[in-house]
Copies of this chain bind each other. A is one copy, B any other.
Amino acid sequence: MAQRKLDVVLDSVKRLQRMGATSNLVNLLQKQHPADLAQLFSELSDKDRQAAFSVLVERNSRLAMEGLSELGPEKGALLLAGRSADDIVKLTQELASDDAAAIIDYLPEELSSAVLEQIQRRPAGGEVGELLEYPEQTAGRIMNPKVFALSEDMTAGEAITAVQTARDVEVVFYLYIFDSRRHLVGVASLRRLLLVPSTTPLKRIMTTDIISVRADTDQEEVARLVASYNLLAIPVVDEENKLVGVITVDDVIDVIKDEATEDVYRLAGVSGDDRVFTSPSESLRKRLPWLQVNLITAFLAASVVAIFEGTIAQWATLAVFMPVVAGMGGNAAMQTLTVIVRGIALGELTFENTRKALLKEAVVGVANGFGCGIVAALIVWVWKGNLWLGTILGAAMVINMFVAATAGTLIPLGLRALKVDPALASSVFITTLTDVFGFLSFLGLATLVLKYGGGIQ
């Protein structure tokens, strides 16, 4: 729905809530698409969201749960957390098993176990539990175990009848085909079925060059495959190549968004599940240790300055320009780091072309160093009337930007070689490095000039 139309509905929802006009409210909510419902929920205050969900769930529990699911598992779980385990078991049955599993996983520990225990006692309730047994961030965790598959011995006509009578299956656009031992052997499109005589067996028309993933495949690899082969869904098989589920492209889109967030977060030293409305105490628990690690690295930079304390005592103006050389190095390093980390994530940077990338960044780094160093030198000359000081600052900048460019390239590439996420070469470590080299070059050069250059000030 367009934002403007949604705003109108939102205003009505708020008005009806204020008036306590529950039945009108339910009628309005009932008309919404689950995605719009989720958008409405997210614009309401916590209390109003809970109230709106409660009235809707009484009347139309499927729609209410679909809207809740579209909010994402974390926020969805929050809306359910006040309910009894019995209630949650009943409500999550309105959802596909993968969506139900994701939400149950986010419930408070105790409630989550109680719900799972009850679900597993039910007939056919095992699916949700099984999904949660796959490791996080794997194909098994995000797949839908209800998958539409047919035997290779069926005819096209029989397959069409099967499609017509199929129920409870997400969407049928690929027909997966198995052999007599239930191994996944092929795929056909619904359109293909319509193009052949109805007596043609599926094994004659299926594509056997099928792209599938194992249940333990990392979800990032799943997303890469779906994106690069332009698939609408990808089948998931077990170690014997038996079909166990399917992952549709809409779930892949969620993965791509999450992985992008993860990259951005790691570059800034934030934990992946620290969101805008994570509670303050939890955010603190996630961020403080990281900052304290960086406190140690910051003292590393400080100890470099300490070496030159005598120089600064003689020439206090140096302290004025310390932040300039360190800060500019940090900025240049962040630029290189971002381009390299994103290049790795998008698969543009391979081991083959590393040397070329390094060379390029080094050239750009030195050129940026001259481009900024000369301007900085001129500013200092005009401001402080001291050409020596300007020259030292400019030279230190060239050195530091060269260090920034090479470190910004090599550190993430090195981390990848060690099979560590390159985004962890976060701004924080790189900027410590540029602080250290910035101070070393700037204060080092100044010390030399003081010693050999004679009366400077």
Task: List the interface of chain A (C-beta within 8 A of B).
Answer: 1, 33, 35, 38-39, 42-45, 70, 160, 163-164, 171-173, 190-191, 194-195, 209, 211, 226-230, 232, 248-250, 252-254, 256-257, 260-261, 263-265, 267-270, 274-277, 279-280, 283-284, 287-288, 290-292, 294-295, 298-299, 301-303, 305-306, 309-310, 312-313, 316-324, 326-328, 330-332, 334-335, 337-343, 346-350, 352-353, 356-357, 360, 363-364, 367-368, 371-372, 375-376, 379, 427-428, 431-432, 435, 439
Contact = CB atoms under 8 A, between A and B. Distances in A.
Identical chains bound together, number:
2
A310 B327 CA distance: 23
A33 to B, nearest CB: 7
B371 A335 contact: no
12 contacts: A35-B229, A70-B228, A173-B173, A249-B250, A263-B264, A268-B335, A277-B353, A284-B367, A295-B324, A298-B323, A299-B379, A327-B431
A353 B275 CA distance: 13
Contacts of A295: 324, 328, 372, 375-376, 379
Contact of A309 (B44, B291, B317): B317
A145 to B, nearest CB: 18
Contact of A331 (B228, B332, B335, B428): B428
Nearest to A268: B338
A367 B289 CA distance: 12
B309 A320 contact: yes
What are the 8 A-B residue pairs with the smallest beta carbon separation, nearest first? Answer: A260-B260, A276-B343, A313-B316, A268-B338, A230-B250, A319-B319, A35-B228, A312-B316
Instruction: Give the interface SS of chain A, mostly helix, strand, loop or mixed.
Output: helix
A357 B339 CA distance: 30
Contacts of A334: 268-269, 427-428
Contacts of A343: 275-276
B357 A42 contact: no
